[in-house]
Amino acid sequence: MLNYFTCQPQTTSFLGCDSSYPPPMALPNPRRLLEPVPDYGTMRSQFAWDIPERFNMGTACSTPDDSSIALRVVEDDTNLDYTFEQLGDASSRLAAALVGLGVRQGDRVAVVAPQSWETGVSHLGIWKAGAISVPLASLFGPDALRYRLNDSGARLAIVSPDNIGKVVEADPDLDIISTDDEFDEFIAVDPIESAQTKAEDPAYLIYTSGTTGPPKGALLPHRSLIGHLTGFDCYYEFPSRDDIIWTPADWAWIGGLMDVLVPAWYYGMSVVTTNADFDPARAIRLMVDQKVTLAFLPPTALKMMRASDVGSEHLSLRAIFTGGEPLGAELLEWSRSHFGCHINEGYGQTEANLVVGNCNSVWPTRPGSMGKPLPGHDVAVFSDTGERVMGEVGEICVRTPDPVTMLRYWNRSDSDKYRGSWLLTGDLGVEDEDGYLWFSSRKDDVIMSMGYRIGPGEIEESLLGHPSVSMAAVVGVPDELRGQVPKAFVVLRDGHHPTAELTEELQHHVRTRLAAHEVPRTIDYVHSLPRTTTGKIMRRALREPDQ
């Protein structure tokens, strides 16, 4: 068993494994859950979870008397550094201020702000108060905010100045704390001790973008931080306190919050943030100037970098994690060659994050595969009849209990999310004979054509392999003869223009790379693709009649 707490054991059980309860306060700078081992099998067989009875994510990320940099805020050519000692103090004072306003354990507090010092402090302070943070993206408009604020029953909201107008329009009666100068005044109180939360107590409520229906709030517990750590260790090739990490992903998304910020702070690592919009050349300059060693770059960011032909000289990167949608073999190979470091693809969803992936230094990556189930997580593929299958398409499922999985959906039933002890992801994939998992598509993205089940991801990857294509999305559209046929939406690279000849060339490219029944019958050329706030392509929007 790999223990990361030093304590007198009091035996309990989680996932059928013996474990020990530590004191309520996590020790500062805990060591990694995983250490480098010779192979995948050894890593899995030697690992078991060690879940404390009491655990608070805010406390776990606070390291008193630590003057090392927790967050570096880069604004233009200026760096503003905040230490872990400042992080612990500010978040404890925020907890006191919230409690002073009447916030109680289990209350929801929304955070509507981009990456910033105040955003990070807000989440930790909310957790220290025993409340539940509700991360909401700055990209949301009033209608999107209104639904989430009302559905969550937010007690109040911590909001950046540029978002206040939208929040007021969404809910005029909601109490608001601004992250401008008012924030420092608000937390100018004596700090309090953190709430003694249990590991099972709820910590944050994140709304999934989904592909159909209204967003669903996934309620995650404090223990989910521990559940993320094996993925964090593998994706970032066994990080240490010497590493510096950055991502352009919004901290309102579980990918930005729990794939980067919170685990990094738990390990005592420095995080870099900037208020600038993502730009490929600017991203490279930032990583060079700040000597970033680890980065979470979603596939969309990597595609934009490839299309912009950015340089990669003088980088300090040793590992890049990517996820959120399939990377594809060609983009993986470009990324490896361009950045010259480990590229580890991973898989998860808000309800069960970081459960599958790669750790290139321990087991070989298979281009196009999401990787293998990570230590501590059991993931398998099941048929519609509930039988485990290998070598054929089925639904990807995660065995529960698992420390990374949600407690439940907020204000709605989750009965259709489970089959027995298995959480149904709604994603289709294949498990090969060596245990590698291969993503096919969302269940509702499957194109049924003449009896064939066609996943759009494979066609999109093929189109991206053509030198004229920058971005691509594929959906199924009705066809009287075939039931459905694939239709492609394509964003061209600079210097390329839509022509009938190019359409035929792209169709020929897919036909010769994949199969005749996967060829898009029509191709629409567009300037951009509709995306969720997490950067995923909204195929639902592309299916609408007016597209």
Identify the CA nearest to 251 among candidates 349, 91, 140, 112.
Answer: 112
Q: What is the pLDDT of residues 330-351, one digit of tens each?
A: 889 999 999 999 999 999 999 9
Contacts of 309 (CB under 8 A, 6+ apart): none
Identify the CA nearest to 502 among candidates 488, 514, 486, 516.
Answer: 488
The residue assigned the tokens 């608000």 is 186
Q: What is the pLDDT of residues 355-389, one digit of tens each?
A: 999 999 999 999 889 999 999 999 999 999 999 99
Q: Quick one: pLDDT band at residue 532, thresholds 50, 70, 90?
A: confident
Determine the 3-state secondary structure of 420 from DSSP. Answer: coil
At 361 the pLDDT is 95
Identify the CA nearest to 292 among candidates 266, 264, 250.
Answer: 264
- Lowest-confidence pick of 96-100, 210-214, 521-525: 210-214
- Lowest-confidence pick of 28-42, 69-83, 384-398: 28-42
Determine the 3-state secondary structure of 19 from DSSP. Answer: strand
At 300 the pLDDT is 81
* 122: amino acid identity, one letter: S
Q: What is the pLDDT of residues 423-462, one digit of tens each?
A: 999 999 999 999 999 998 778 787 878 666 687 887 898 8
Distances (CA, A) of 145 to 111, 132, 151, 168, 169: 11, 17, 10, 10, 9
Contacts of 144 (CB under 8 A, 6+ apart): none
Q: Round to whole Å and give the CA distance between 217 and 146.
A: 14
Q: Round to whole Å and give the CA distance between 351 and 72.
A: 30
pLDDT at 6 over 70: no
Q: What is the pLDDT of residues 212-265, one digit of tens each?
A: 457 889 999 999 999 999 999 999 999 999 999 999 999 999 999 999 999 999
pLDDT at 17 over 80: no
Instruction: Detail the DSSP E strand segments found in 323-389.
Output: 342-349, 352-357, 372-373, 379-382
C-alpha count within 13 angstroms, C-beta hemisphere, residue 235: 32
At 21 the pLDDT is 28
Contacts of 522 (CB under 8 A, 6+ apart): 477, 487, 488
Complete domains list, the chain, with CATH: 84-197 (3.40.50.980), 447-543 (3.30.300.30)
Q: Is 527 exposed, middle or buried (0-12, 13-18, 19+ CB in 10 A)?
A: exposed
For the segment 520-537, the average pLDDT, to the nearest whole number, is 87
* Single pTM value for the model: 0.83
Contact 445, 211 (CB under 8 A): yes
